[in-house]
Amino acid sequence: MNEELKRIKQIITQNLEEKHEFIPHETAKIKGFYPKQTQETGFLFKTFTLFWLLKWTGLSEGDQDKVWKALDDLAAKRQIKIFRCEISRNLNVKDIGMIAEVGKAAREWGLGSPKIIHQFFYWEPGKALSEADFSSGGKTVFQPSKAVAELREHRDLVFRRRFGWRDFEIEKQLHLEKLEAESELNKKIERIANWIKKQEEGGRKENA
């Protein structure tokens, strides 16, 4: 792995560790942890978007392939389990929304709000998901970059059917040709107007 990809992955995982959501579930077993009556285990989930990833990493839209490579690598190593990848009406048309399972945790109920007492993330050494857990549920996104390419292809197909195909390079060229034609027409009109003006002035001199 090159250093840049390693750096991007590190930035992404650091941000995914923040402000995640705990979802209690009896299948979220933590090796060596046996919950007491006031404790429960669950999964850690994180909702994020492509634009967030770009903001975290300092990359531009033109460099987003680097983000997808990092996510592909995390998925290939079962260090993140993305189970929703979508284009949403609530997002910019170029943005991609994602929901991922990023780890497991245990929390304890007391007098106040429940408190996380133990947690880990799948990218930590020795914590990657097993193949069975990674594939379970039937909605795992195995290769994020491929899923996004298919989403965008479908989006473009819908746009073409609804609004018609648009080739912006051709439109640009036609617009330039239109401007040139209008300019040439204006020049011809101006020459004709000048000729008429001269004819009128000549006629007035003859009648004087």
Low-confidence ranges of the chain (pLDDT < 70): 1, 159, 162-186, 188-189, 192-194, 196-208
Do 196 and 123 share a structural domain?
Answer: no
Do 94 and 139 share a structural domain?
Answer: yes
Q: Is 107 exposed, middle or buried (0-12, 13-18, 19+ CB in 10 A)?
A: buried
Six token digits for residue 195: 């000729």
Q: What residues pair up with 118 in beta bridges, in sequence order? A: 106
pLDDT in tens, 98-141: 999 999 999 998 877 888 989 999 999 999 999 999 999 889 99
Are 80 and 123 in contact, with CB atoms under 8 Å apart? yes
Q: What residues pair up with 82 in beta bridges, in sequence order? A: 100
Q: Taking Cα atoms as reference points, which of 92, 101, 84 lies closest to residue 55?
A: 92
Do 134 and 178 share a structural domain?
Answer: no
Number of domains making up the chain: 2
Which residues form the domain of 28?
Answer: 3-163
Q: Is 80 exposed, middle or buried (0-12, 13-18, 19+ CB in 10 A)?
A: buried
Do 137 and 117 share a structural domain?
Answer: yes
End-to-end CA, the chain: 93
Question: What is the rounded CA–CA span in Å between residue 93 and residue 154?
Answer: 13
Do 56 and 137 share a structural domain?
Answer: yes
Q: What residues pair up with 58 in beta bridges, in sequence order? A: none
Do 96 and 55 share a structural domain?
Answer: yes
Six token digits for residue 94: 């170029």
